[in-house]
Amino acid sequence: MSKIVFFDIDGTLVNEEKEIPLSTVEAVKALQAKGIFVAIASGRAPFMLHEIAEKLQIDSFICYNGQYVVFEGKVIYENPLSQEALDRLITTTMKNDHPLVFSAAEEMRVNLPDHPGVLEGMNSLKRGYPRVDAHFYRGREIYQCLLFCTEDFDSFYAEAFPEYSFMRWHDVSVDVCPANGSKARGIRELIKQLGFKMEDTYAFGDGLNDIQMLQEVGTGIAMGNGRPELKKVADYITESVDEEGILKGLQHVGLL
């Protein structure tokens, strides 16, 4: 295998209904049949990948926007959040009534109950309200938080917490990750295991958290339904997820 393709999930492999189009399933299988390595690069937790991974027969993942990397079922890289900064973040968000979902390797918990923002955000992922445990982060590695606030708070949190990066994935929520972490960083860790060259890497994405990934790989492909900011850095813009965007993109770059 001399080439590898990284796929984001939401808005890329799956549509708004969280369904994988048949053309995408067939395209991924065709890549694998040709000996092209396929991996997932997502902001999702590893325990939120099982159904998609099984359907697509993928066992290598970049999770939590690059903070937790799995190569053929084995964890090869971890980049948890700073505990000291997390304590400060919790204090600040509590004052603003902004809930946090703490995401560890195997499960997640939220620190505030019955918050409409959390309900809206988690429903968009087709997941229920997480169990409430305000102290879940203590004594365990937390790789990412979901901070529930509106966009007008983005600059406030970015300035107050330079240790972290804040990437908006929903009108009501941002991903909170280490400032030195990204999908691009996760990709570098994974291709070390394979001995690939960066020019032989490809990536598909649609969101703001895919910008660094598309800039890092040899060929970056933005979905037609993707954010305008992402399309500006892409090498190619394919069709939307429901318009055979994955298949057409792979055909355009000559992988299929």
- DSSP letters of 115-152? -HHHHHHHHHTT--PPPB-TTTTTTS---EEEEE--GG
Tens of pLDDT, residue by residue over 107-129, are 999 999 999 999 999 999 889 99
Segment 57-80 shows an average pLDDT of: 96
Fold (CATH) for 83-178: 3.30.1240
Query: Mapping DSSP to helix (H, G, I), strand (E, B) and coil, where does residue 231 land?
Result: helix
**Choice among 1-10, 33-42, 151-160 with the minimum mean pLDDT:** 1-10
**CATH class of domain segment(s) 4-78+181-252:** alpha beta
| Catalytic residue (choose from 8, 175, 206, 210) | 8
Topology alike, domains 4-78+181-252 and 83-178: no
Q: In this predicted structure, what is the pLDDT of residue 203?
A: 98
Give the whole-number percent of the chain exceeding pLDDT 70: 100
CB < 8 Å & 24+ apart, contacts of 131-138 = 133/102, 133/109, 136/102, 136/104, 136/109, 136/111, 137/83, 137/86, 137/90, 137/102
Confidence class for position 2, pLDDT limits 50, 70, 90: confident
The C-alpha angle with vertex 203 and arms to 207 and 53, in degrees rounded to 5, equals 85
Q: Is 8 a catalytic residue?
A: yes
pTM: 0.90
φ/ψ (deg, to 5) at 174: -125, 150
Domain ranges of the chain: 4-78+181-252, 83-178
pLDDT at position 103 over 60? yes
pLDDT in tens, 196-230: 999 999 999 999 999 999 999 999 999 999 999 99
How far apart, in Å, are the Cα atoms of 15 and each of 9, 126, 223? 9, 12, 11
Query: Strand (E) positions, the chain?
Result: 4-7, 37-41, 61-63, 68-71, 74-78, 100-103, 108-110, 144-148, 164-170, 173-178, 201-205, 219-222, 236-237
Q: What is the pLDDT of residue 1?
A: 55
Q: What is the pLDDT of residues 124-177, one digit of tens each?
A: 988 999 999 999 999 999 999 999 999 999 999 999 999 999 999 999 999 999
Question: CA 67, CA 80: separation in Å to the nearest integer?
Answer: 7
Residue 86 reports pLDDT greater than 80: yes
